[in-house]
Amino acid sequence: MADGTRGKGDRKNPPDDEAALSARLESLGDRLATVRRPTENDSRSPQTADTTGMARGLRLSTELVAGVLVGAAIGWLLDRWLGISPWGLIVFLLLGFAAGVLNVMRVAGVAPDRTK
């Protein structure tokens, strides 16, 4: 609908209006850029803030368990392969617990992220 009327208008316009049209397009592009820029820079706009909060909460729930499980699994396998039961399980369960706590602290933002 809007496209149709615009097309008719263009056909009627003399060629020297093209410069004005391109100037208008340029200014529109600038305005679009200024509108877009803030959303790119601060991605955590207020609209998504509560969603990310709940998402972070959901993340926390399994991080600790995963660390302990991995530690226990590695320890148990080492015990079986090397026949050093129960030392592998004891040591790696503790290390796994530490890893799990580290995971949780990273998600909670208490410990610094390793990438920074």
Partner 1 sequence: MADPVQQFEIVKLFPVAKIGGQEIAFTNSAAFMVLAVVGITGFLLTSTARRAVVPGRMQSLAELSYEFVASTIGSTTGKEGMRFFPFVFSLFMFVLVANLVGLVPYTFTVTSHIIITVALAMSVFLTVVVYGVWKHGLHFFGLFVPKGIPIFILPLIVFIEVLSFISRPISHSVRLFANMLAGHITLKVFASFITLLGGLGAVGIASAVLPLAMVIGLTALELLVAFLQAYVFTILTCIYLNDALHPGH
Residue 60 beta carbon to partner 1: minimum distance, rounded to whole angstroms: 10
Residue 7 beta carbon to partner 1: minimum distance, rounded to whole angstroms: 12
Give the interface with partner 1 as residue ranges (CB under 8 A).
Answer: 2-3, 39-40, 43-44, 51-52, 54-55, 58-59, 61-63, 65-67, 69-71, 74, 92, 95-96, 98-100, 102-103, 106, 114-116
Q: Which is nearer to partner 1, 15 or 81 (CB)?
A: 81
- For the chain, list the strands marked E by DSSP: none
